[in-house]
Structure 1
């Protein structure tokens, strides 16, 4: 699992395969399928197509929130938020071998974590972001650093990140950065991903 450049698909995106492939060709190291609009039955074939498309690149697919989609499609893992399925129940349902990630927004979310269940956390939001209108209060880079230090597993920075942020994310101790719009809304997603990956390498 490489968290360096974690691409999260935008809700309602039309051609997810082409978008995910562009991101991966540019340097995305992990892809998360997040879509709050479609049903499980609609998302399962989408996830299967994405897995097949990403497999030649060795890039895993993580499914946001939908346990049945993750299990039925053969995805590499599941990511849950604070308002989603509890992590102990999530781990019980997906088994010991799949990747499990959790969004953490405050120190109290980390203080309550049982050990040995999670593989990574998504820490933030660092900034306000239009891609998740119901997000928690932004923590900034200082708050990100506090969350990273307290996390018992690797942390990926989330929330409103894009070009110019890699150095600050790295200095905060995060293992990588997750982006939605910085790639998904770009005129050339592959070039946007490549620029972000190169920036991380220089940071």
Structure 2
């Protein structure tokens, strides 16, 4: 499968969308031009994540996008997602790959050079690195790596690199300038009531 990351990687966490439903948020993101959406439900039950994932998958397919499920390769397979994103405490990359097969996307979260090196040797299609800036999206975030840490990460891997953590319209361009291929955004997309306008601003900044 050909692999290319869009500049904006939108993450939907139902706990951080201001009460808006995940399917409705997905529709708004797609209308605004987002083409890569990840569903993250750290505290959701398996059944709840499946039900939400199934609804979001339908919207993303209809909108011509790519849909990734965070952590759960089993749920990704059950809802027909395009891939899974795993972290340091989740299934190893190769086990997730075994569940989904060679044609699906597998992403891998890293937070330091050692983890990047491990990811580089894996079958992961892309690596996420961060948090680049302080973030409130996680209860116990890893240490901030900063722009210089991201620059070193770029030098340490040839795989597509997604920057994550505290990224807003004010710093997204800097993140690309030091080597990221894509920026993953959670809270920065939903702090405004007008998701579509926020996405359009991100896309404008990331395309210049």
For 1:123-202, list aligned pairs within 5 A.
Answer: 123-202=129-208
Deviations 1:122-153 (A, max 9, x none): 11110121111212101011111111221231
Report the counterpart of residue 12 of structure 2 in structure 1: 9
Q: Secondary structure at the match of 2:205?
A: helix
Distance in 2 of aligned mates of 1:121 and 1:113: 7
Any idea what SS the aligned residue of 1:24 has? helix
Q: How does 1:93-108 map to 2 (within 5 A)?
A: 93-108=99-114
TM score, norm. by length of structure 2: 0.91
Gaps of 5+ in 2: none
1:116 to partner: Cα distance: 5.4
1:6-52 superposed Cα distances (whole Å, 9 cap, x missing partner)? 11112434411111121222222210000112112111121121111
Task: Identify the match of residue 31 of structure 2 among 7, 25, 44.
Answer: 25
Tell whether the 8 Å contact from 1:129 to 1:160 is kept in structure 2 after alignment.
yes
Divergent runs of 4+, >6 A:
none
- Residues paired across the two proteins, number: 202
In structure 2, the residue matched to 1:48 is 54
Q: Which runs of 5+ in 1 are unaligned?
A: none
State the Cα RMSD in Å. Answer: 1.5
**Residue 72 and residue 17 in structure 1: after superposition, are their counterparts in 2 closer, same or farther (change >3 A)?**
same
Aligned residues of 1:123 and 1:157 also touching (Cα < 8 A)? yes
TM value normalised by structure 1:
0.93
Looking at structure 2, the residues matched to 22 and 33 of structure 1 have their Cα atoms a distance apart, in angstroms, of 14
